[in-house]
Amino acid sequence: MIPFRYFLLWLFLPLLGVLNGTFRIIYLTRYLPDLATHQVSTLTGIILFGGYIWYVNQRWPFDSGKQAILVGCTWLVLTILFEFGFGHYIFGQPWPALLHDYHILAGRVWLLVLFWITISPLIFYKIKEKNPPSRQPFLK
pLDDT one-digit tens code per residue, 99-137: 998 999 999 999 999 999 999 999 999 999 888 766 555
Task: Confirm if 66 and 120 have CB atoms less than 8 A apart.
Answer: no
pTM over 0.85: yes
Q: Could you give the CA distance from residue 13 to residue 39 in angstroms, rounded to a whole number?
A: 19
At 38 the pLDDT is: 96
The identity of residue 39, as a single letter, is: Q
3-state SS, residue 107:
coil
At 1 the pLDDT is: 80
Nearest to 99 by CA among 115, 80, 117, 113: 80
pLDDT one-digit tens code per residue, 9-56: 999 999 999 999 999 999 999 999 999 999 999 999 999 999 999 999
* pLDDT over threshold 60, residue 91: yes
Q: Could you give the CA distance from residue 98 to residue 37 in angstroms, rounded to a whole number?
A: 16
CB neighbour class for 135 (10 Å; exposed up to 12, middle 13-18, buried from 19):
exposed
Residues 132/114/49/60 CA torsion (nearest 10 deg):
-40
At 136 the pLDDT is: 56
At 134 the pLDDT is: 62
At 138 the pLDDT is: 57
At 18 the pLDDT is: 94
* pLDDT over threshold 90, residue 83: yes
CB neighbour class for 131 (10 Å; exposed up to 12, middle 13-18, buried from 19):
exposed
Confidence of residue 98 (pLDDT cuts 50, 70, 90): very high
At 132 the pLDDT is: 73
